[in-house]
Every structure is written in C-alpha cells, then in structure tokens.
Amino acid sequence: MSIETVATQPIPGQKPGTSGLRKQTRVFMGPHFLENYVQAIWTGLGGAAGTTLVLGGDGRYFNDRAAQVVLRMAAAEGVSKVIVGQDAILSTPAASHLIRSRGADGGIILSASHNPGGHDGDFGLKYNGANGGPAPESVTEKIFAATKTITEYRILAAIDVDLSTPGTHRMGDMEVEVVDPVADYADLMETLFDFDAIRALFAGGFTICFDAMHAVTGPYAKAIFEDRLGAPAGSVVNGTPSPDFGGGHPDPNPIWAKDLVDRMMGPDAPDFGAASDGDGDRNMIMGRGIYVTPSDSLAALAANATLAPAYAGGLKGLARSMPTSGAVDRVAEALGLDCYETPTGWKFFGNLLDAGKITLCGEESAGTSSDHVREKDGVWAVLLWLNILAQKKQPVAELMAEHWAKFGRNYYTRHDYEAVDTGIADTMVAEMRVRMRDMPGRKAAGLRIESADEFAYHDPVDGSVAEKQGLRFGLEGGGRVVVRLSGTGTVGATVRVYLERLETDPGKLHEDPQEALAPIVAAAEAITGLKQRTGRTAPDVIT
C-alpha cells in the first residue's frame, strides 16, 4: 500500500467554533475539505506519528465515508493504532471515556451534535486530547493556522477497513481495533450509580420515556435502561439511529422534542422523561407535568449528587458556563463549594476537571456532566436523576418544588434568533460594545441597568485568557440579560439572548417562566433592538 501526496490549497472558513468544525454536509463532502482539515489537525498537533487515537461518530450521513478517510490519513501520518467504534459509531461521552480508559493520545469525533444530519444537513469533526476532552483554544488555533497554509496532504491508497464487527485489522503499518461502542461505557455507568436501587425503582412500577431522537444514544439507552436496569421494553423511543435522524432535528429541547413534552404533560405521562441529542452529550429532563430547565437540572443534581455512590464522598466544586443561570451558584454557596463561571464551550471545563477543582459542571445548552469523562453526558445525567429519585422516592415536580423553596427559583429562558444576516448581528454586537459603557444607571423598559460588561475568562489553572465571551447586563431586582452569537450554527448568525431573574418569594415560585420574565424580555429588546434590527417579531426557538 502506498502513500499518496495530494496537492491542495487552503479552503477558507475552516475555523473551529464552540465545538470543533461544523459545516453543511455538502461543504464537508466537497473536494479536499475533509482531507485538508484532518491534515491541519496533524500539523496543529505537531504530528501524530506513533500515537494511539480513538475514532467514532454519531452515525450521521457521511460518518462512514469520513471515518475511512480519517483512517487512511492516520495511516499515512504514521499513527500506530486507532480504536474505532463498530460501524464508526461512538457517542461523544463514550469516545471521551475510551480515550481515557485506553490511555489514548487523543481522538477524532465525527459529529455536528444537535444540528440536523443528512445530505442537506450538517456534519462536523472535532479533535479531543489525551484527557478525553475537546482540544483547548491553544490547540484549535494551531489547527486553524495550519488550514491557512496547507499545500498538500497525505493519504494511504487502501481499500476500506471492515468496521462492521469487533476485531483487529491492519491498514498499512497501522493497527485498527474495532470495539463494541456501548459495552465499556455501560460498564462505567454501573461503577458510578446504584444500579440495584434503580432496578428496584423500575420493578416497583416507575415508568420512563427516553427519546433517543433517532440518534446515537438509542443503543446505549436500550442496553442500560431496558437490558441492565429492567425498564420495560419500549421505554426507549426513536431508539434506532438513522443517518438523517429520522428527518428530525436531534436537539433535546421543548421545541424539537415536542412529542416527548406533549406526552409528559398529558394525562398518561410516565414518571420520568428524557431526551438526548445527535451525539449523546446533551440531555433534556422532564417529570410528569414538569419541564426542568438545564440550569435547574444542574442545580438539582448538584444539591443531591451525594445520593449516588460515585459522589457520596462529597463534591470538590461546581462550574457553569456564564450564560447558564445562577441556580447552581446558590447550591454551591449552601454547600460551601467553589463555583466557577466559564465561557460557553465544554472545553473550558477541562482544566478545572483535570486539576480536581470541580466534580460537576453544566451549561444552559442542555449539557451536564462530571469528572467521569471530559465531555457532557446525556445518559449519565439521566442515570444520576434516576439514582436520586430512587433514593428520594418522590416525583420530579415535588423535588423541584422543594428545591426552589430552599434555594429560590432562577426563572430562566433563552430566546434564539436563527439565520440572522451576519452583518446585522455583527453590527449589533459592535454597537452594543460601544454603547454599554454608558448604560449603567440608565433604564431599559423601566428597569435600571446596574451593570454592563463583556465577559472575559481567566483560566485559574493555566492562566489563559478568553475574551469576548458574551455581553452581560445586570438589571435592578437581580435580573440579567446576556447576548452572544452562537459558535455552532452553519447558516448566517444565531443570536442567543439569555434571560434570567431570581425569585425568592415563596408565593411566586410556580409562575409561567415566560410571564415571570416578561419585564426582562422587554428590557433585553430595549438594550439590543434585536427585533427592530432583524425585522423578526419573535424568536425562532425558546428554550
């Protein structure tokens, strides 16, 4: 087998975003696009010869072809061994676990996460390091720099490796080990949680509906919830992964998982409902008649985590991304724990986890996890909820009511405006950056603006600084508005407006969040002029 050296030239726009490189599938399938980026990864890493890597993806359209290209380029690079999930499938948290448990040097994850799949959908690729987590910005910047100077890439002339059954193959001098994508991950979960208690919960008639959204968690959820824990067959719905996610949008939020929401709000709702996304790192949590926001879920998990064996010894600390609500901060304060505020992007939790400063962390974007891996983990979040419910023996709605009564309720919502003209979005942010200096003291829709700044993160572990991570406005009465542009969209700009208000009055803890936040929403519009600038009358997605 020979190595081909192919002449190429830089392709504009190969800048990794919040989580790796995400583009429309047809862009990724364009001439040299994938190959250029993979070669840039090797260059950005300073070479990958002699390393062991993990490879897998969420099974979306082009996953299988892309995996074979990555393998041939890894072989040409001199990589010693690649551990691949069967059929090139691995959920993102399972890939993170495999990197860590096998002592690999890193891994490549093929996924555009919650973005739709298919030929007309999106595709993505990201590099994770030896800790199992997304590469930090110091690495992604080197990768991006390499995409701008590339002149050639190297690829092995070889036929496809058979990835359909576990076993070991050779591709040139490189070993390719195909592994069961579920088994190791399911074993890890069994070490963290009290499976006997959860089994007893199901045996007692507790019911669950887990919506895998036709994406990667189907096999994981069936193996864990139905096979190992005894939930009745059919507890996992939409559990067979498909390359275009059944034509759906695999994003577990009340808009895209509406079927589950309707079921959980209906008369025959199961006790517990959950959904996960394309690559299995996000989660949505529901109880009968109640949707738990990701920010509240993080807070409730943090408050009760010691009921699960893995966390029984106590938590080291907590962290949330800046736009995530302050609900977890209140738990941290009560427990006497440090609580860190990081920029959006799971990669920013990596140093805190590696340094042992935190045990649990999460984001408003439906991500929660712990130090068991270095990615957010949807199935893990569901299991921790189940473990807690198995111990507390109370409905989700009751648990949340008690939580709010004790800590107060951070009413929270996110309003997304998608596919906004990039010029309009950039101008809005640029203008606000200037105007915000004079905003404190002024009023927005009747509310006094008490603070206005742009979030910059100083990593307490390695001292790195990440600037321009979102515009923040503090309002009288404890309200907060955050505005930032998404780093995961592929068409135009997605403007995210995060809205929050703390309520501690025991008589006002059970209002509709949109109504409870109406004054904050009005203030946000007065500050941003977003509707007026875009001509939109309402957000595209409300979570």
Binding site for ligand G16 (CB under 6 A): 18-19, 113-114, 277, 281-282, 344-346, 363, 365, 367, 486-488, 496
CB 277 → ligand G16: shortest distance, Å?
6
- CA dihedral (536, 541, 542, 543) in degrees, to 10, reads -160
CB 46 → ligand G16: shortest distance, Å?
25
CB neighbour list of residue 468: distance below 8 Å, 6 or more residues apart: 454, 456
Q: Interior CA angle at 457 toward 452 and 459, to 5°?
A: 160
Tell me the longest C-alpha to C-alpha distance in the chain: 73
CB 499 → ligand G16: shortest distance, Å?
15
Nearer Cβ to ligand G16, position 485 or 518?
A: 485
CB 401 → ligand G16: shortest distance, Å?
28
**Active site members:** 113
Q: Which is nearest to 216 in space by CA: 344, 86, 107?
A: 86
Q: Which is nearest to 279 in space by CA: 205, 217, 322?
A: 217
**For residue 340, what are its two tokens?**
């860190």
Nearer Cβ to ligand G16, position 114 or 409?
A: 114
CB 112 → ligand G16: shortest distance, Å?
8
The radius of gyration computed from the CA coordinates of the chain, to the nearest angstrom, equals: 23
Distance CA 253, CA 100 (A): 30
- CA dihedral (295, 301, 304, 305) in degrees, to 10, reads -140
DSSP 37-94: HHHHHHHHTT--TT-EEEEEE---TTHHHHHHHHHHHHHHHT--EEEEEEEEE--HHH
CB 319 → ligand G16: shortest distance, Å?
12
CB 346 → ligand G16: shortest distance, Å?
4
Chain centroid to Cα 168, Å, comes to 31
Quote the DSSP letter at residue 316.
Answer: S
**For residue 3, what are its two tokens?**
């190595």
Nearer Cβ to ligand G16, position 222 or 320?
A: 320
Nearer Cβ to ligand G16, position 52 or 324?
A: 324
Distance CA 504, CA 409 (A): 6
Chain centroid to Cα 489, Å, comes to 13
